[in-house]
Amino acid sequence: MAFALTDYQIAALQAMQIPVWQPQDKLAKPAGEVPDVAEKVKSEPVSQDTARSHLQRIKDSVAAKPAPSQTTKTDEPVAPQEAPPVLQVISAQQAPQFFADLLIAVQGLAMETVPPVKVGAPVSVSQTAITLPVAPDALTKQHKMQLWQALCALS
């Protein structure tokens, strides 16, 4: 398969910091030698100035587009920040099977005691507390996996 890139295509690739590889035999040809007709790109010739100005317009349009995180709607009212949710502490009497399983897991991870379990925020585990999004009896498979991964990451 024989193909060749135009000067414009090479400039565009280099502007995107993509290295352009050329076949070694093309580089070794003397300057006066005309390349094969099959290797020529069938397109309208464009002057280098036109190609450069088009490339500059492309660069400017890409640079002018704001990132999605930078776009904000000015007509949308900004909600006041809510206070952090009040976390409910769960005792071993409220969820005996969960605490029995948790005790086994904590002992297997060489932790000394089971930290207090709180409900009302995303799954997180620290030496001082375990936080769950829902009550222990309502945990889904995904919540349990997140809890186990967080416990393993703690040790």
Give the residue from 119, 114, 154 showing the smallest Cα distance to 136: 119
Range name among 103-117, 118-132, 133-147 with the lowest pLDDT average: 103-117
Give the residue from 46, 67, 55 showing the smallest Cα distance to 14: 55
CB 118 within 8 A of CB 132: yes
Question: Bigger pLDDT: 55 or 146?
Answer: 146
pTM: 0.44
Range name among 1-15, 16-30, 104-118, 133-147 with the lowest pLDDT average: 16-30
2 pLDDT band, cuts 50/70/90, is low
pLDDT exceeds cutoff 50 at 104: yes
Please tell me the distance from the alpha carbon of residue 153 to that of residue 124, in angstroms, as a whole number.
Answer: 10
Element (H, E) at 145: helix 141-154
- Per-residue pLDDT, averaged over 26-41, amounts to 54
